[in-house]
Chain A
Amino acid sequence: MPSPKRIGKIEFGLLSPKEIRTMSVRKIIWADTYDDDGFPYPQGLMDLNLGVIDPGLRCKTCDQKASECPGHFGHIELAKPVIHVGYTRLIRKLLRVTCRSCSRLLLSPEEIEKVVGTEDDLTGDVLSEKDIKKERVCPHCGEQQLKINFEKPTTFSEVVVEEGKKIEHKLTPADIRARLERIPDDDLRHLGINPDVARPEWTILTVLPVPPVTMRPSIILENGQRSEDDLTHKLVDIIRINQRFKENQDAGAPQLIIEDLWELLQYHVTTYLDNEVAGCPPARHRSGRPLKTLSQRLKGKDGRFRGSLSGKRVNFSARTVISPDPNLSVLEVGIPLAIANEMSIPVRVTSYNIEELKQILRNGPVRPSLGHPCGANYAIRPDKRRMRLAEGNLDTVADMIEPGWTVERQLRDGDIVLFNRQPSLHRMSIMAHRVKVMGGKTFRLNPAVCPPYNADFDGDEMNLHVPQTEEARAEAAILVSVQENLLSPRFGGPIIGGIHDHISGIFMLTNQLRWFTKQEALYLLKNMPLYNLPPAGMTAGKVNKWSNKQVFSTILPTELNMVFKASSCQNCETCQRELCERDAYVRIFDGKLESGTIDKKAIGAFDGQIVQRIIRQYGMKRAAEFIDDITELSIRSIMLDGFSFGIDDEDLSKTEYGQIDEVLQNAKIDVQRRIRIYEDGQLEPMPGRTPEETLEMQIMQVLGKARDRTGEIAGRHLGLGNSAVVMAVSGARGSMLNLTQMAGCVGQQSVRGERIMRGYDDRTLPHFRKGDRGSDAHGFIEHSYKSGLNPTEFFFHAIGGREGLVDTAVRTSQSGYLQRRLINALQDLKVAYDGTVRSTGGKIIQFRYGEDGTDPMKSCFGDPVDVKGIVESVLKEEV
């Protein structure tokens, strides 16, 4: 392997007029491109010396054909010098730091030494504009300096003070060039400019390079007309004005006309270089579209750098909308037949597979339905020639192949592909799945793999890539597969697990104790890899019955022992353990669920305790099987009972509505009472707060409590029979707060953590009296989402909601940029074989990775050793 090369230095310089003339192959003087026969004019912009774009012609410089000639530069001699827009800031700086008469730095040698240091002890600093006082006298020739004004885009002028009046005296590019020419080389070095490669006068153009035709090709439209590139158009303008300028100059035209032409030439050269300069109207095409000139070609997202050089396109990829399919394994991805027919995998013909490949070739490129075996799209001969397969030549090609050929076979079930969703923020954004060819037009995936991709099905699209070599497929299967990415390297816990309905379903299955008949038990376990039901847990009369915990235990590995608390655990002071009335104490003994409810804590993505334990004890493969089983079982159990939700589910009875009203009334009265105390000046302020702040805090507290009380009242009525409660308690979706807002009272709306205070003078809306401090005037919503908001409440709700939206938008963009910078800084670091973290130069960043040398992915939520897990498996008891 070649050793990496170290870059010694990078030099940035300017093109000198001499260099421009040396690299030029032709002086361009004619503004025309092609003559009537369609042949380029000599010394025109399409001169044959500049390279050729028409096939058949040969370049006059290098004698090569259109495809081989790289193109050559020409040049235009400008009638008078013009300023290069890209260097106006440098020119301004140089004019301000040098003398207008002798062009030397406006600093004495001692002053220079102060900044730059002596010759033996250089500080490495260079002079800047700030080091020089304005309008001083030149220390070398005693000339009084004048203020230099710069007006965008390219006008420089000196300010002369005459009789108290300021008069601007314009500097022509020729004047400026003369001044820059006189700056001594040594002074430039102090300014950080290397005069060997960048003399400042080269920023004023006297010669303009004409880029090769190859970078501004003309295109022939359908009607046979030629259409020139934007750059060519701009060069035509420059040559025309330049020519006119020369003629006027030679004819001795008046100064006024010369100045006008000079400015026009400056405008054209400026827009040729950059058509988006401030203070300069952009040059436009006849249609009114601004021209795309040099700087526009490089800049921006679709420019040369971001668009062409960093931007990459690939073959063998597909993109479409995603949709869920709970019947797929998490390791699979469903692919539409149309995509599977289009995408291929090259298979080398050997004596072992030749018969199979012949059959595939005979199947042809059109696979009519899912039931048919895959065909092939191309056959590649040993000399790398591709043969497209079509209806007519299938048998011929099939008979021709022999070892040495390659067949591009269509995608079929079991092939490994890479699946990706942008933004690819972590490594789990690209994972390898096994193909399952399906109908429809969308990619299908098991909802359990949504968390790592951060995908949902509201129109998300995802990309798919087909690895083309054996090595790539091996890497994909061994390193990138979903199975290898169940654990997040961020915290060492599972990132793939049940979501939403999986959690609701498994909660409803396992909560408390239920008994199923054989028929019901088999319905639940229909898709499980199970050969025998365990012995029935109960016999009622003559009917055998199986408990819900038994049903769940069938998918657990035997010998699994663990104890933990479910999401529904309330953290009571003294834990009731097995006797917990919420059934939140989960105990698994030898692979049997003895007590407790399975919910988000046990199988959810990000938390999944059981998943985590199975990975540690039985490995990734068993864990992937477990996730498949759990998704199947939970979906079937949610289907056994049925699960639905509507706003009517939040209906309460008359008594509850009465209680809620009472609570809110009392709160309002309490608020009024406190306001009265405050207005009487009787309010005792809290330490460090004004009476106003104290009052606000008290009001917020009272109203907050009132809302929580309504939630409690509603919660008493709504039990586990309510779908929303099931979802909130199991951790599947939503919270009890959401429920409170639907059934009880939406509560106080806030902006920056305070009640809503903005709006008109002393009031939020004209519906209220000035100075009203009451709860309803400052954004307290006493209605629930179910009962509906009144107009003022609705408005306050919109204010609070908008703040939330803005906050999330700002936060995501800020944290995204922060993460990007962090990743850019750390991306090339790696852990060496001796456990140190090193940069590419071999420099040590950390002497031991993470100071303890632990791979966070192999850790247990950050701890290198899962002590609790080990003790539980051995003692089969809670630690």
Chain B
Amino acid sequence: MSTGLNVLDHVMVPDHKIMSEEEVGSLFSTYNISNEQLPKIYHDDPAVKAISAKVGDVIRIIRHSHTAGRAESYRLVIKRPKK
């Protein structure tokens, strides 16, 4: 990162983490889903680039929530389709 700005340090950007293969496996089994059913995120999303996640990775996002205080969400990295 030459610019020196890390988007993850910004207060408005929630915490993004790449999940390990075991974590992804247990995620799929708890919700009884395949990766197609996960919410998506583009590979060129600034936060995805910042944690250098690859297409096919699953990312855990931990947010502050007005209702729950802390909310976890998971997203599958996909390639941005050309316009």
Binding site for B on A (CB under 8 A): 123-125, 834, 836, 838, 841-848, 850-854, 862, 864
Distance in angstroms from A127 CB to nearest chain B CB is 14
- From known contacts A123-B82, A834-B31, infer whether A845 and B39 are also in contact, taking CB-CB under 8 Å: yes
Known contacts: A124-B82, A125-B83, A836-B31. The answer to whether A848 contacts B71 by CB under 8 A is yes
Residues of B within 8 A of A (CB): 31-33, 36-39, 65, 67-69, 71-74, 81-83
Complex CA gap A637/B68 in Å reads 45
Measured CB to CB, the nearest residue on chain A to B34 is A842
CA A834 to CA B33, docked complex, whole Å: 12
Are A851 and B82 CB-contacts (below 8 A) given A843-B36, A843-B37, A844-B31? no
Task: Report Cα–Cα, A422/B77, bound state, in Å.
Answer: 44
B68 engages A851 (CB within 8 Å): yes
Closest to A849 in B: B67
A residues near B65, Cβ cutoff 8 Å: 851-852
Chain B, residue nearest A117 (CB) = B82
A838 contacts which chain B residues (CB < 8 A)?
37
A850, B33: Cβ atoms under 8 Å?
no
Q: Can you name the residue of chain A whose Cβ is closest to the Cβ of B83?
A: A125
Q: Taking chain A's interface residues, is the majority helix, strand, or loop, or is none over half, making it mixed?
A: loop
Given contacts A844-B31, A844-B38, A844-B39, contact A851 B81 (CB under 8 A): no
Chain B proximity of A129: nearest CB distance (Å) = 18
Contacts of A124 in B (CB 8 A): 81-82
Beta-carbon contact of A125 and B71 below 8 Å: no
A223 to chain B, nearest CB (A): 65
Q: Select one of A125, A834, A844, A852 contacting B67, CB under 8 A.
A: A852
From A844, A845, A854, A862, contact of B33 by CB (8 A): A844
Residues B67 and A842 in contact, CB atoms below 8 Å apart: no
| 6 nearest CB pairs, A to B | A852-B68, A851-B71, A852-B67, A851-B68, A851-B65, A843-B37
Residues of A within 8 A of B68 (CB): 848, 850-853
Question: How far, in whole Å, are A850 and B73 apart by their CA atoms in the complex?
Answer: 12
* Residues A850 and B67 in contact, CB atoms below 8 Å apart: yes
Residues in A whose Cβ lies below 8 Å from that of B32: 834
Can you identify 5 A-B contacts, CB atoms within 8 angstroms?
A: A125-B82, A125-B83, A851-B71, A852-B65, A852-B67
A124 vs B83: C-alpha distance in the bound complex, in angstroms? Answer: 8
A113 CB to closest chain B CB (Å) equals: 14
Residues of B within 8 A of A846 (CB): 73
How far does the Cβ of A865 sit from chain B's closest Cβ, in whole Å?
12
CB distance from A683 to the nearest CB of B (A): 42
Please tell me which one of the listed residues A842, A852, A864 contacts residue B37 in the complex, with CB atoms under 8 A apart.
A842
- Which residues from chain B contact A125 at a C-beta distance below 8 Å? 82-83
Knowing that A836-B31, A848-B71 touch, tell me 17 more A-B residue pairs with CB under 8 angstroms. A123-B82, A124-B81, A124-B82, A125-B82, A125-B83, A843-B38, A843-B39, A844-B31, A847-B31, A847-B72, A847-B74, A850-B67, A850-B68, A852-B67, A852-B68, A852-B69, A864-B67
Q: Which of B33, B39, B67 has the most CB of A within 10 A?
A: B67
- A residues less than 8 Å from B33 (CB atoms): 842, 844
Are A844 and B37 in touch, CB under 8 angstroms? yes
Known A836-B31, A847-B73; contact A854-B37, beta-carbon cutoff 8 A = no
With both chains docked as a complex, state the minimum distance between the C-beta of B34 and any C-beta of chain A, in angstroms.
9
Measured in the bound complex, the distance between the Cα atoms of B27 and A847 in whole Å is: 11
User: Within the assembled complex, what's the spacing in Å between the Cα atoms of A433 and B11?
Assistant: 52
With both chains docked as a complex, state the minimum distance between the C-beta of B30 and any C-beta of chain A, in angstroms.
Answer: 8
Residues of A within 8 A of B39 (CB): 843-845
- Rounded to whole Å, the gap between the CB of B47 and the closest CB of chain A is 18
- Inter-chain CA distance A838–B39, complex, in Å, is 10
Give the complex CA separation of A533 and B69 in angstroms: 50
What is the chain A residue whose CB lies nearest that of B70? A851
Which residue from chain A places its CB closest to the CB of B82 in the assembled complex? Answer: A123
A851 near B67 with CB under 8 A, answer yes
Contacts of A834 in B (CB 8 A): 31-32
A388 CB to closest chain B CB (Å) equals 56
For residue B66, which residue of chain A has the nearest CB?
A: A851
Interface-central residue, A836, A852, A854, by most chain B CB under 10 Å: A852
**Which chain B residues border A854 with CB–CB below 8 Å?**
67
Per the bound structure, the CA–CA distance linking A848 and B69 in Å amounts to 13
- A850 and B81 CA atoms in complex are apart in Å by 30
A864–B66 Cα gap in the complex (Å)? 12
Which residue on B lies nearest to A124, using beta carbons?
B82
The interface residues of chain A lying within 8 Å CB-to-CB of B74 are 847
B74 CB, nearest partner CB in chain A, Å: 7
Q: Which residues of B contact A123 (CB under 8 A)?
A: 82
Alpha-carbon distance A879/B6, docked complex (angstroms): 46
Which chain B positions have C-beta within 8 A of A864? Answer: 67
In angstroms, Cα B83 to Cα A125, docked, is 7
The docked-state distance in angstroms from the alpha carbon of A848 to that of B73 is 9
Cα distance, A843 to B34, chains bound together (Å):
9
Provide the residues of chain A in CB contact with B31, threshold 8 Å: 834, 836, 844, 847
**Chain A, residue nearest B39 (CB):** A844
Q: Which residue on A lies nearest to B81, using beta carbons?
A: A124
Cα A755 to Cα B60 in complex, Å, equals 54
Residues of chain B lying within 8 A (CB to CB) of residue A845:
39
Chain B minimum-CB-distance residue to A856:
B67
B37: nearest chain-A partner, CB-CB = A843
Residue of A123, A838, A850, A851 most packed against chain B (CB within 10 A)? A851
| Distance of A854 Cα from B37 Cα, bound (Å) | 23
Nearest-neighbour CB distance to chain B for A781, whole angstroms, equals 44
Residues of chain B with a CB closer than 8 A to A841's CB: 37
Give min CB distance, A837 to chain B, whole Å: 11
Q: CA separation between A834 and B32, bound complex, in Å?
A: 10
A846 to B72, CA, bound (A): 10
Tell me which of A838, A843, A845, A854 has the highest count of chain B C-beta atoms within 10 A of its own C-beta.
Answer: A843
Chain B nearest CB, measured from A705 CB (Å): 38
Question: How far apart are the CA atoms of A847 and B61 in the complex, in Å?
Answer: 11
> Which residues of B are found within 8 Å of A850, using beta-carbon distances?
67-68
CB distance from A427 to the nearest CB of B (A): 21
Question: A291 → chain B, closest Cβ, in Å?
Answer: 44
Q: How far is the CB of A846 from chain B (nearest CB, A)?
A: 8
Among residues of B, the one whose C-beta sits closest to the C-beta of A838 is: B37
A842 CA to B38 CA, complexed, in Å: 9
In Å, the complex CA distance between A848 and B65 comes to: 12
Contacts of B81 in A (CB 8 A): 124
Query: Which residues on the A side are within 8 Å of B71 (C-beta)?
Result: 847-848, 851-852
User: From residue B61, how far is it (CB to closest CB) to chain A in Å?
Assistant: 10
Q: Give the complex CA separation of A851 and B63 in angstroms.
A: 10
Cβ contacts under 8 Å, A844 to chain B: 31, 33, 37-39
A768 to chain B, nearest CB (A): 53
Closest to A839 in B: B37
